Amino acid sequence: MNIAVLGSGGREHALAWSLAKSPKCGRLYAIPGNGGTAQVAENVANLDICNGEALCGFVRYHDIDLVVIGPEAPLVAGVADALRSAGALVFGPGAQGAQLEGSKTFSKRFMERVGIPTAEYGTFDNAEEAKAYARRMGAPVVVKADGLAAGKGVIVADNLDDALEAIDECFSGHFGDAGSRVVVEECLTGPECSLLAFVTAGKAFCMTTAQDHKRAYDGDLGPNTGGMGVYSPVPIVEPEELSAMQRAMQQAAAATAEAPFEHDYRGVLYGGFMLTPQGPKVLEFNARFGDPETQVILPRLKSDLVDVMVAVAAGKPEDVHLEWRDEWAVAVVLASEGYPGPYEKGKVILGIDEAEAVDDVIVFHAGTALNQDEELVTAGGRVLNVVALGKSFEEARGRCYDAVERINFEGKRFRTDIGAKAAAGRSSWE
């Protein structure tokens, strides 16, 4: 089978790495890919991953059997629909299904209709009504730009002034069109936990739990980032919480196949949960694999990812079989100095082989490139994802940080406390 993966982050390196392991994988393309995907696939530059027509041409010319869409932008832009109508097998929902991520209002209304536990909310097209609702709700309160804002459109306001300012900021065009509608939401408390599921023909096949670390600095301080580290599974989740999360994912999957939605959803549904004292509630749905969650989930997958993705893309739930390694996985993100603000690129990266010499360590590339001298250099804010597996959480964490120390580039930054709270137990969230 010839396969194309769309996207250029650590998630896409993990996807390409996992697909390439399958004996069924023929030619593998990464569009545009990065320095890591180049090791397992052919990178294709100069093709816009949001241009359905151009991608259809590529798929025909290169005889591609399966297209795997990594990021949200092409999903929301309807690239899966365009490729499907041209006859390709596509892993990823069409534009309608992707609205679960592309519009917070759509997603909240979906949850309300289906009966999935979530925060109380109001949705507004003008600042005055949004402010009135925020005042009624009182601080702390959460303000969300409705559309895609690259993970930056959510403001958790500790006081009312910050909430009102955030509302003004959304409507002033700060987030572009994404902010022309705003969701104001009850502030929930508790540990966060992600549960991703393969969804096809109204059925959800849940993966294992994972927990991201979104803040830039140790102790969950500093600005929000695309994710600084992650581990899987999440040891602090109680069995009844896991059942409630799985139930929510099944409910959501079933609803995508029924009226009034009928999305024919074929891809990953990502549930971002908060484990509140009243039980798990959904903070957000994403219509794709998480980044960096994928980098700890896929190394734990024993089943052949090509088989799973083909079954999902073909709408054949009877052919989806998932088996997991009974191991823990921890990933630490190595970032460029300054990230998530401005940072320099082009710093030479050394020590990846030495890091991968540690037992059960894999290094996925997130923002790397080869320079004119064919040296591997930094090319993004998040540069590398160092992933380690282990028989225990402590073993995986120990191996991961051992490997992290072996990699060097100028300005290397990382969090030293990935998984520390989980290791300390549930009480560390209270």
185 binds, among ligand AMP, ligand GLY, none (CB under 5 to 8 A by kind): ligand AMP
Residue 272 CA: distances (Å) to CA of 155, 210, 233, 289, 300: 16, 10, 14, 11, 20
Task: Fill in the per-residue mask, 207 to 226: x = in contact with ligand GLY (CB under 6 A), - = not in contact.
Answer: -----x--------------
337 binds, among ligand GLY, ligand AMP, none (CB under 5 to 8 A by kind): none
Asked if 409 and 386 count as a contact pair (C-beta separation under 8 A), the reply is no
Does residue 291 belong to the site contacting ligand GLY (CB under 6 A)?
yes
Q: How many CB atoms lie within 10 A of CB 88?
A: 19
188 binds, among ligand GLY, ligand AMP, none (CB under 5 to 8 A by kind): ligand AMP
SS3 letters for 169-197?
A: HHHCCCCHHHHCCEEEEECCCCCEEEEEE
- The one-letter code for the residue type at 348 is V
Nearer to ligand GLY, 55 or 333 (CB): 333
Shortest CB 370 distance to ligand AMP, Å: 33
**Whole-number Å distance between alpha carbons of 386 and 361:** 7
Shortest CB 216 distance to ligand GLY, Å: 14
- Applying CB under 6 A, among 156, 244, 420, 423 the residue interacting with ligand AMP is 156
Task: Fill in the per-residue mask, 96 to 125: x = in contact with ligand AMP (CB under 6 A), - = not in contact.
Answer: -----------------------x------
Asked if 399 and 419 count as a contact pair (C-beta separation under 8 A), the reply is no
Phi-psi region of 222 (alpha: psi -120 to 50; beta: other; left: phi over 0): left
Which residue's entry shows tokens 């892993």? 91
Does residue 298 belong to the site contacting ligand AMP (CB under 6 A)?
no
Does residue 381 belong to the site contacting ligand GLY (CB under 6 A)?
no
Does residue 101 belong to the site contacting ligand GLY (CB under 6 A)?
no
- Applying CB under 6 A, among 286, 336, 378, 385 the residue interacting with ligand GLY is 286
Residues 6+ apart with CB under 8 A from 14: 294, 295, 298, 299, 364, 385
Q: How many CB atoms lie within 10 A of CB 107?
A: 24
Nearer to ligand GLY, 291 or 304 (CB): 291
Does residue 291 belong to the site contacting ligand AMP (CB under 6 A)?
no
Stretch that binds ligand AMP, among 185-193, 256-264, 325-333, 402-410 (CB under 6 A): 185-193
Q: Both tokens of residue 254? A: 């079933």
Does residue 160 belong to the site contacting ligand AMP (CB under 6 A)?
no
Buried b (16+ CB within 10 A) or exposed e, 180-201: ebbbbbebbebbbbbbbbbbbb
Instruction: Indicate the length of the chain as a whole number.
Output: 430
Task: Fill in the per-residue mask, 155 to 194: x = in contact with ligand GLY (CB under 6 A), - = not in contact.
Answer: ----------------------------------------
Q: Both tokens of residue 388? A: 């380690």
Task: State whether the Cα torsion 14-20-24-28 is positive or negative.
Answer: positive
Helix/strand/coil for 111? helix
Q: Both tokens of residue 252? A: 């959501």
154 binds, among ligand GLY, ligand AMP, none (CB under 5 to 8 A by kind): ligand AMP
Shortest CB 95 distance to ligand GLY, Å: 19
Shortest CB 207 distance to ligand GLY, Å: 13
| Biggest distance spanned by C-alpha atoms of the chain | 60
Does residue 283 belong to the site contacting ligand AMP (CB under 6 A)?
yes
- Applying CB under 6 A, among 35, 153, 190, 227 the residue interacting with ligand GLY is 227
Contact residues: ligand AMP, CB under 6 A: 119, 142, 154, 156, 185-188, 192, 214, 272, 283-284
Residues that bind ligand GLY (CB under 6 A): 212, 227, 286, 290-291, 293
